[in-house]
A = this chain, B = another copy of it.
C-alpha cells in the first residue's frame, strides 16, 4: 500500500466510534475520509466530543454523503444488524470492512438469528467473514474482505483460555468464565440502568441465563479445543468506565508448566503480556491501551487453574483490535498507531 489508507466510519457517535476516532486521528498511515451518523449529520465531530478539538476536523455526514465506496476500509461501529445490510454492496465495490458489531461473528446463521432475534441479511457472506482475533487468525485476516471484530468479553476470555484448550490440558465440559466489565461496555445509549446514580457504588451480575457473547465464545473455544466445550459465562457490571477483568476457571486433566505454556504461546505477540507467576493484573494497567495482560494461578496447588485476563474493553476489546486488524489487512506494522502507554493512575 502506498499512500494513506482511506478510512470511513459508519456510526461514530458511540463509545467504540469515538475511540476509533481517538486512535485513527493519531495513526500515521490513515486518512479519515468520512464518518456517518444519520442523527447528527452536519454536526462537527469535535462539537459532540470536545476531546477531539483540533484533532478531528470532520463533520458527521449522512450515509449518502459519505461516499464510502471510495474508501479502502470501512469500520462499522453500529448497533447489531446494521452492518449486514450495508456490507455486501461495499464488498462488491472493492471496499474492505471491519465490523465492530456482532453481525459476522457467528458462522452458524441459525445460532445468530436465535441470539440476535432477527433474520440475517447477508447470509452469503457469513462463510467468508474472518473472526478477527489476530493472535489466533492473523493469516486469514491478512486477506479478508470482511473481518468480524471480536466482542469485548470474548477477547478477554479467549486470550485467557485458549492456550489451555489448544494444549488439551483441561476438562472442556466445565469451563467457567466469570467476567466483570466497566460500564462503557453497555454503550452510549440513554438507559436507566447505566445512569451514574444506578451503576455507581454498585455491583451486579446480569444476563446469567444467557448473554449474546456466550455463543461467540463457545464457537471459538470449541474450535480451539477441537470439540464442543461446556462453558458457564457470567458477566457482571462493575462501577468503572473502562476495563474487563475475566476470572477463568478450568480443571486440569494433565500436568504442565502453565507459566511456560502461556509464555511460549504468546511469545512474539506484542499485545498479549503474560505476567510473572503470582501476579494479579489490574484493569488500569491496560487503560486506554491495546494490551491484554494475563496471569496464572493454581491455588493451593490443586487441580483448578485460575486465569486472570484484563483488557480495555474499548481498545483491545473493540476499537484497538479493529485498528490492529486493519494494520494486518493492509500490511502495516501491526502496532502502527497502537503504541499508547496505559494511563495510570
Bits for A229-245, please: 1 = Cβ < 8 Å to B, else 0. Answer: 01011101011111101
* Cβ contact within 8 Å between B195 and A306: no
* Cβ contact within 8 Å between B192 and A190: yes
Q: How far is the CA of A238 from the CA of B293 in the complex (A)?
A: 18
Answer whether A201 and B247 are a contact pair too, CB < 8 Å, given A293-B50, A299-B209, A341-B26.
no
Instruction: Specify how many copies of this chain sit in the oligomer.
Output: 4
Interface residues of A in 266-290 (CB under 8 A from B): 273, 275, 278-289
A124 at the binding interface (Cβ < 8 Å): no
Q: How far is the CA of A206 from the CA of B308 in the complex (A)?
A: 10
Q: How far is the CA of A51 from the CA of B280 in the complex (A)?
A: 13
Residue of B nearest to A206 (CB): B280
The smallest C-beta distance from A63 to any residue of chain B, in angstroms, reads 22
Which of chain B's residues have a CB closer than 8 A to the CB of A339? 26
Answer whether A343 and B22 are a contact pair too, CB < 8 Å, given A190-B190, A283-B203.
yes
A contact residues, total (Cβ < 8 Å): 87
* Cβ contact within 8 Å between B275 and A249: no
Residue of B nearest to A191 (CB): B190
A205 at the binding interface (Cβ < 8 Å): yes
The smallest C-beta distance from A175 to any residue of chain B, in angstroms, reads 10
Chain B CB within 10 Å, residue with most, of A239, A249, A251: A239
A178 at the binding interface (Cβ < 8 Å): yes
* Cβ contact within 8 Å between A209 and B278: yes
* Cβ contact within 8 Å between A200 and B196: yes
Which of chain B's residues have a CB closer than 8 A to the CB of A2? none
* Cβ contact within 8 Å between A345 and B197: yes
* Cβ contact within 8 Å between A234 and B247: yes
Which of chain B's residues have a CB closer than 8 A to the CB of A243? 201-203
Bits for A210-251, please: 1 = Cβ < 8 Å to B, else 0. Answer: 100000000000000000001011101011111101010101
Q: How far is the CA of A237 from the CA of B203 in the complex (A)?
A: 11
5 closest A-B pairs by CB: A204-B282, A51-B342, A51-B344, A196-B199, A183-B196
